[in-house]
Structure 1
Amino acid sequence: MNRLVITLLLALAPMLIQSQNFEKYEDMKEVDAMVMTSKMFKMLAKVDLSDNDPEAREYMKLIENLDRIQIFKSSDSKVRSLMASDVKSYLQKGSLEELMRVNDNGQNIKFYSLPGKNDNYVKELFMYLEGNEDNKPMTVILSITGEIDLSQLSKLTSDLKVPGAEELKKANNKS
């Protein structure tokens, strides 16, 4: 009986792990990927900035509290289908709350978050975008984890040139 349970758990483990993260897309040639880790953010936070620039100080405060940013983008139909399936599985775990949905010019963008220490912070911001770029179908997955100050987040996503950043900025301005 124990062998059966262990075998079953070992067989299910890869599926459970895949539904929890999207790192498998990093090595796919059909995917544009960017992953930044907490080490990178800590390095950036050590950059010596002028005390006269409060915007730069706020920006550094935001990034030093981040753990990871993952962005995966693909136009390949098979990969896009796999991404849709993985996102659906990830969202069905039920830990993320829907923030907003935007359907604009053929782009469907959905934002989700994991609540943080108060209403101004989240532990994870997750975005899923299905749309077109240069008349080609495109899917984008964005996951940002850490102590995320929502008031500063739109600046970061704009600087990273993330599709959907404008919609996030509009949502922050409404709150």
Structure 2
Amino acid sequence: MNKIIITIALVLAPMLSQSQNFEKYENMKEVDAMVMTSKMFKMLAKVDLSENDPEAKAYMKLIENLDRIQIYKSSNAGVRSQMAADVKTYLQKGSLEELMRVNEEGRNIKFYSVPGKNDNYVKELFMFLEGGESGEKPLSVILSITGEIDLSQLSKLTADLKVPGAEELKKINKKS
């Protein structure tokens, strides 16, 4: 019986640690964190919008299908190093596929995803940004968005959230 429990624990441990890999950053004073859950998205989806605004309707459809958005940002060297190590571990454990890499103006941005119901949708979009433009403090940003994500609407959402690297998301949709 003990062997069965230990086997089950060993099988489930990577899955559980993968989903909680970045939550430790929420309470660090050196980290700016934002986490939005499905309850928040459902509440936002109930906002009464004009029937004549198709862009607003599409935006609401996007957010009501999201499960979670996590954004962690830090310029602290020690935290940035830990973030890089955690991202590397997360990518090795997960089923994420690389979408795109961008290295420009001192920033290195990598995008990954878990495929969705078709080529226009993903179940998870993951971004890791390192670096900064000259004269700026180096910065690391982790962005994870889960749910049924429409890539054609995603760049609008991340731009509204003012996520560094959001402008690069427009290029992902053009490539898909």
Structure 1 length as normaliser, TM-score?
0.89
Identity of aligned residues (%): 80
For residues 27 and 19 of structure 1, what CA distance do their matches in structure 2 show?
18
One-letter identity of the residue aligned with 2:140: T
CA contact (8 A) 1:18 1:86 kept: no
**Is 1:107 aligned with 2:107?**
yes
Residue number in structure 2 paired with 1:170? 171
| 1:121 aligned partner | 121
Secondary structure of 2:44 counterpart = helix
User: Residues 138-149 of structure 1: matches in 2 within 5 Å?
Assistant: 138-149=139-150
- Aligned ranges 1:16-165 → 2 under 5 Å: 17-20=16-19, 21-132=21-132, 135-165=136-166
Q: 1:24 to 1:173 in 2, by over 3 A?
A: same
Kindly indicate whether the alpha-carbon contact (under 8 Å) linking 1:37 and 1:69 is maintained by their aligned counterparts in 2. Answer: yes
Question: Aligned residues, how many?
Answer: 170
Question: C-alpha deviations, 1:140-173, integer Å up to 9, x for none?
Answer: 0000000000111011001100000111112323
* In structure 2, distance between residues paired with 1:138 and 1:109: 11
Letter in 2 for 1:143: S
Q: Which moved more, 1:162-171 or 1:64-73?
A: 162-171
1:148–1:170: structure 2 CA closer, same or farther, 3 Å change rule? same
- Counterpart of 2:100, as a letter, is M
User: Any conservation in 1 of the 2:18–2:94 contact (CA below 8 Å)?
Assistant: no
For residue 118 of structure 1, report the CA deviation from its aligned partner: 0.8
**Any conservation in 1 of the 2:97–2:114 contact (CA below 8 Å)?**
yes
TM-superposed CA distance for 1:110, in Å, is 0.1
Provide structure 1 residue ranges, at least 5 long, that are not aligned to the other structure. Answer: none
- Separation in 2, partners of 1:17, 1:84: 20
Range 16-25 or range 137-146, more displaced: 16-25
Q: Distance in 2 between matches of 1:16 and 1:151?
A: 29
Superposed CA RMSD in Å reads: 2.1
Deviation at 1:28, TM superposition (A): 0.3
CA contact under 8 A between 1:19 and 1:86: conserved in structure 2? no
SS in 2 for 1:148: strand
Q: Partners in 1 of 2:112 and 2:171 — Cα distance?
A: 15
SS where residue 136 of structure 1 aligns? coil
Query: CA offsets per residue over residues 108-164 of structure 1, 9 Å max, x none?
Result: 000000001111100000000001266211100000000000111011001100000
